[in-house]
Amino acid sequence: MNKLKILWKVIRHLNFDRVILGFLIWFFISAVIIMCVEPGINGLGNALWYLFVACTSIGFGDLVATTFIGRALTVILTIMEILLVAMFSGVVVSFYLEILRANEKESISAFMDKLENLTDLTPEELKEIEDKVKEIRS
């Protein structure tokens, strides 16, 4: 659950939620326009299916855009989808780095707690700290 909170924090921090929302709004607006201008695409369901197939590069060919407006909207939406996927890769990397930073902070915090209470530690815990210091130096 904590990792989902970190992911959402990263998405919000990078404003990726707005990008996704903008893409979805454009997707549905394009579907309505394509439904109206394309003679071979009847109904909103078929328009949504056509755009989904176009954006995922599946390209079944069962529905095709034949008008300039339909083709232009398809190109614009496909370019937006490619950018969305590229940006999502950046979000995933940022998420991973945020988790590493959180883990590092926890490790450093635990290490500092042990250093503050050296007199209360057992010989095994002291040996563990000594090994960790040697590891950090090398």
- The pLDDT confidence band at residue 89, using thresholds 50, 70 and 90, is confident
**Residue 106: CA atoms inside 13 Å, Cβ hemisphere, count?**
6
Residue type, 121: L
The phi and psi torsions of 91 (rounded to 5 degrees) equal -65, -40
More confident residue, 61 or 28: 28
Q: What CATH number is attached to the domain comprising 44?
A: 1.10.287.70
DSSP symbol at 117: T
pTM higher than 0.85: no
Residue 45 lies in a domain: yes
Residue 14 lies in a domain: yes
Q: Which residues of 20-53 are buried (b: 16+ CB within 10 A; e: fewer)?
A: eeebeebbeebbeebbebbeebeeeebbbbbbeb
Q: Is the pLDDT of residue 86 over 80?
A: yes
State which residues form the domain around 46: 2-101
**Residue 61: CA atoms inside 13 Å, Cβ hemisphere, count?**
0
State residue 60's pLDDT score: 83
